[in-house]
């Protein structure tokens, strides 16, 4: 089905005719330019010229419109059709609007270099494990918008909320521990996440989620954990917190224990109706993100969607071709 996005522009179609009708050519203003004796020849020329004209009768006046005027009007017609934006509308279908806005807040301080996680063949550091698990999580959230904040001493918004999952994964995969500083500013990172979600008005507050992952305690930055928790409680945005790092048994292998502030992370999750998770190895970390992935999405109303194909370029192209042809058409054919 062909539809015009701006059909009111069709009111411009009669504009050339109205102009031609209301403002006729001025005749005999300067009198006769030259009197010649061969009037008979001039009469023949005039008869031939008139034979090339089409008579159009309008109210109160008879106008003779030349072929040139009709040609120019045809160009005008296609231009008006083009600016009216013809579109091809496909068959309607219904979709369920079920999605969330998820802001991933990930600690990349130097403590994330601790190699206390392992695969089936080798040991890996915490950040490498997080990259692998989070990348899978992002790929599975096909209907969600995902954002990414990385923090250490400073917190940085690396990816605003977006449907471009590949971009988020690419940014995360190219991240190294210590890029944002050696210390840990959990409060500042959380404040930045809340501010970013608050400024985005495309989704309701109960449809927004923050997933905060860290292996330490808030030991830097301008916001304390108490201030960050109060701020999160006011915003009413659900926050899931994840503490990563091997348990005390890891010290048997000479790995440094972590200074994880589990009490604050639990309080933060509790205040915002979220959940605190503890990841001590790769399998538990993967299981945590599978649990978050299984959250019931916010269900919206079913929307009717139709595919729209723009067709304005077709009449626009025709108008341009006619205009170019006007340059090459001999003037005697368009008198």
What does the pLDDT read at residue 261?
Answer: 87
User: Contact at 8 Å (CB) between 178 and 113?
Assistant: yes
Q: Dihedral of the CA atoms 281, 282, 284, 288 (nearest 10)?
A: 130
Q: What is the pLDDT of residue 81?
A: 93
What local confidence, expressed as pLDDT, does residue 31 receive?
Answer: 47
**Three-class secondary structure of residue 322 per DSSP:** helix
Comparing CA positions, the residue from 242, 107, 120 lying closest to residue 172 is 107
Is 264:299 a contact under the CB 8 Å cutoff? Answer: no
CB burial of residue 59 (10 Å; 0-12, 13-18, 19+):
exposed
- Tokens in use for 289? 């993100």
Kindly list the structural domains of the chain, giving each domain's residue range(s) and its CATH number in brackets, ordered by start.
2-24+42-91+306-333 (no CATH), 96-302 (3.40.50.410)
pTM of the model: 0.59
Place of tokens 């015009």: 4
pLDDT averages per 10-residue partition of the chain, 335 residues:
88 86 61 50 56 45 65 91 90 66 93 86 90 92 90 94 92 93 92 90 76 91 90 91 75 57 92 92 90 68 71 93 84 64
Rg of the chain over CA atoms, in angstroms? Answer: 36
What pLDDT score was predicted for residue 100? 84
């Amino acid at each position: 089905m062909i539809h015009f996005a701006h059909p009111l522009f069709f009111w411009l179609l009669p504009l050339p005719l109205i102009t031609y009708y209301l403002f006729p050519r001025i005749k005999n203003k300067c009198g006769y330019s030259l009197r010649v004796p061969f009037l008979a020849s001039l009469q023949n020329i005039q008869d031939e010229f008139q034979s090339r004209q089409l008579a159009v009768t309008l109210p109160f006046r008879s106008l003779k419109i030349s072929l040139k005027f009709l040609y120019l009007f045809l160009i005008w017609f296609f231009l008006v059709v083009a600016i009216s934006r013809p579109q091809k509308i496909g068959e309607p279908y219904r979709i369920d609007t079920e999605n969330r806005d998820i802001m991933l807040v990930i600690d990349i301080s130097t403590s994330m270099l601790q190699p206390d996680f392992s695969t089936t063949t080798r040991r890996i550091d915490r950040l490498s494990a997080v990259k692998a698990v989070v990348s899978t999580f992002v790929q599975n959230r096909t209907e969600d918008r995902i954002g990414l904040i990385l923090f250490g001493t400073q917190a940085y918004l690396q990816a605003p909320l977006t449907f471009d999952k590949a971009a988020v994964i690419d940014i995360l995969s190219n991240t190294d521990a210590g890029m944002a500083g050696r210390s840990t500013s959990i409060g500042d990172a959380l404040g930045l996440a809340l501010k970013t979600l608050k400024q985005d008005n495309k989704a309701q507050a109960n449809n927004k989620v923050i997933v905060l992952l860290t292996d330490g305690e808030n030991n830097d930055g301008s916001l304390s954990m108490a201030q960050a928790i109060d701020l999160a409680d006011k915003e009413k945005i659900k926050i899931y917190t994840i503490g990563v790092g091997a348990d005390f048994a890891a010290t048997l292998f000479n790995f440094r224990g972590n200074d994880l502030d589990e009490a604050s992370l639990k309080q933060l999750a509790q205040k915002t109706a979220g959940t605190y998770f503890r990841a001590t190895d790769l399998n538990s970390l993967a299981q945590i993100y599978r649990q978050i992935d299984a959250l019931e999405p916010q269900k919206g109303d079913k929307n009717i969607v139709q595919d729209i194909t723009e067709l304005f370029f077709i009449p626009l192209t025709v108008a341009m071709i006619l205009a170019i042809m006007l340059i090459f058409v001999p003037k005697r054919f368009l008198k």
